[in-house]
Each structure stands twice: as C-alpha cells, then as structure tokens.
Amino acid sequence: MAKAKIAVNGYGTIGKRVADAAQAQDDMEIIGISKTKPNYEAAVAHQLGYDIYAPAANLEAFEKAGMPAAGSIEEMVEKADVIVDCTPGGIGKSNKALYEKAGVKAIWQGGEDHELAGYSFNAVANYEGALGLDFVRVVSCNTTGLCRVIYPIDKAFGTKKVRVTLARRATDPNDIKKGPINAIVPDPIKLPSHHGPDVKTVIPHIDITSAAMKIPTTLMHVHTVNMELKNECTAEDVRQVLGSQSRVRFVGQGITSTAEIMEVARDIKRPRNDMWENCVWPDSITMHEGELYFFQAIHQESIVVPENVDAIRAMMELESDGAKSILKTNKAIGL
C-alpha cells in the first residue's frame, strides 16, 4: 500500500515534531514542510532532508541562504493527501480555502476554533469518529492532557464534575520575547478559563470548570485535577485505570518537579527531550472526602505529536481501530 503523503504547513515547535513522528511511521511519509523564512529551524529541516516549501515571494531568500526551496506552499498542498497545519494559532483559519480548493484533507491544532474543522480529536477518546473525515482539529496540549485522563476515568467510574487549575508554562524554551520572568499571571482573569471547557469539544458530556495562571517557567504545564465521580472507587482503582493508559506515565522515584521529568526525558534519549505522555504523580492520586485529586505535568511542546499521527491515520482510514493506531504510533516513535 502506498504511504499517505503528509505535508506540514508551519515547521515550528509542533510542526517539526509532527514531521519527525509521521516520517517514522511505515504507513505515511513527509512529502514536504513549509517555512516562511530561512532561519535556523529551516536549516535543520534542510539538513534532515525534508523538502522545504515557502511563500512564492520568499523562494529567492531560501536560494540565497543555501537551502533552496522545492516550491511554493500552494505546490506543496497540491502534492499532499493530508496537510498538518501547524501555523501559529489563528492563522490556520485563513489556509482553509487553500486546502478546500486543492481537495486535500487538513488537520489544525488546538489554537484554532473547534468550528473551523468541525471535529476535535483525541486518540483515546474519539478516534473512530475521525475515520475518513476531511477536516480535524487536534486539541491543544492542555486539552489533550485532560482528555487522556478524564476519558478513561469517566468510562470506569462516571463523572459528576471536574475542576482543574492549570499552572501554565509562560512560554517555550526557545522563546526569548515573552514573559513573565518573575510574576504570576492569572490568565484569563475572568473565570472560568476556556481550557477545561475545551474538553467538551471532545467529550461533550463532561461537566468541567477550569482556572489558569501563566507562571515563569518554560518546561511543562502542571494541572491540579479534582473530579467528583458517580461510582464509588478508591485511589488504587484510579491508579489502576491511569496506569493502564499507554500515554500516561507515572512519575515517582524522587521526581518532585517538572525539571526532573525533563531530565528523565533527556536520560532516555527522547528526541528533543520530548515527553509525549501525561506525567501523573501516582502518590498524588487521592480520594479526599469522596472526591478525587491528582497532579499531572504536561509537556506542551510534544504531547499532541502522537495525536496528530493518529489523526492522520484515522482520516486516511489506514487503521479503523483507535487502540491499534495508538500502539502503532507509539511503537514507531519509541514511546
């Protein structure tokens, strides 16, 4: 069977990771990536052998920079079966007409509205609903992280109410423009934040409220999750459920912070020290006065990467069973 032809439009934090992860699968191949300017990330893409496409007006700049582009973004779109749009939040929307005109399938990221794609995706929660779809939105890192734990816990015990507080990393490690560097920023100040409710785009029946703060760190987000469940269960029951999820990693053994989680990712030689799994502290899983509490850390740069691969597989109907796609994706990238 011919491999599905994938193009990544926007080779930034998410795009470059999705490119590598899709390229590692035996049922898909990267036929091109797009970059606006010939910067250091483009240079590495060139080195890795990816065909680079650029806005027509910038092709000369790539030529001059010693990394000649393979063509314009329009040309790349024409060649692909699926475009993974990883352009900055809000920009992906303006690309929809281009994808529709070319009759190509497209995946957007969580920075775009649910309505743009009409289907918000999480591999463990709703893979099957994406089979054959033309447009899919892979939800944000925070929403992905929440769906991965809420879905199986809800399936096992039923959910009355979820309350989440998100301590959000202020920006990514490579960004030197944003802050804060020494402050806590409740964001948004008006409550609730959109983060929790975005889970409903994937699992509509979940009653969830969230509050979020930006804090001066670049490594990971941390969620404090509180769940009121329908059926009685123990902390050990919840530990069993989460422990059975391939994209949930239990962290202990002296791991007390996001810094030590990143050190593990480096020690196990993950590409770019990516941590694709939710990192849950099993010691934090507690039933207190009949309510469930736990902490999880979310690596914002990489957690949605395997979900993008699964979304491609569903849309191209390369695999009809979500659980099988998850295992296949995991194996190919080394998760």
Q: Is 233 annotated in the active site? A: no
DSSP alpha helix (H) spans, 180-273 = 235-243, 258-267
Has 46 been labeled as part of a binding site?
no
CB of 278 to a second copy, least distance (A): 14
Q: Is 141 annotated as a binding residue?
A: yes
Nearest distance in Å: CB 190, a second copy:
6
Q: Which is nearer to a second copy, 44 or 259 (CB)?
A: 259
Which residue in 86, 141, 147, 279 is the catalytic one? Answer: 141
Q: Which residues of 82-115 are buried (b: 16+ CB within 10 A; e: fewer)?
A: bbbbbbeeeebbebbebbeebebbbbbbbbbebe
Query: For binding to a second copy (CB under 8 A), which residues are involved?
Result: 161, 163, 165, 167, 169, 180, 182-187, 189-192, 207, 209, 211, 213, 215-222, 224, 226, 256-260, 281, 283-284, 286, 288-289, 291, 293-295, 297
Question: Cα separations (Å) of 114 from 49, 74, 121, 200, 320?
Answer: 34, 24, 10, 10, 23
* DSSP assigned state of 227: E
Q: Select from 134, 129, 121 the least CA-distant residue to 304.
A: 121
Instruction: Indicate the residue among 277 and 319 with the shorter CB distance to a second copy.
Output: 277
Least Å distance between CB 201 and a second copy?
18
**Nearby residues of 226 by Cβ (< 8 Å), 6 or more positions away:** 162, 163, 164, 291, 292, 293
148 or 299: CB nearest a second copy: 299
- Measure the CA–CA gap between 13 and 15, rounded to whole angstroms: 6
In one letter, which amino acid is 160?
A: K
Q: Is 14 annotated as a binding residue?
A: yes
We find the least distance from the C-beta atom of residue 67 to a second copy, in angstroms, to be: 32
Binding residues: 13-14, 111, 140-142, 169, 171, 195-196, 300
Active site residues: 141
Binding residues for NAD(+): 13-14, 111, 169, 300
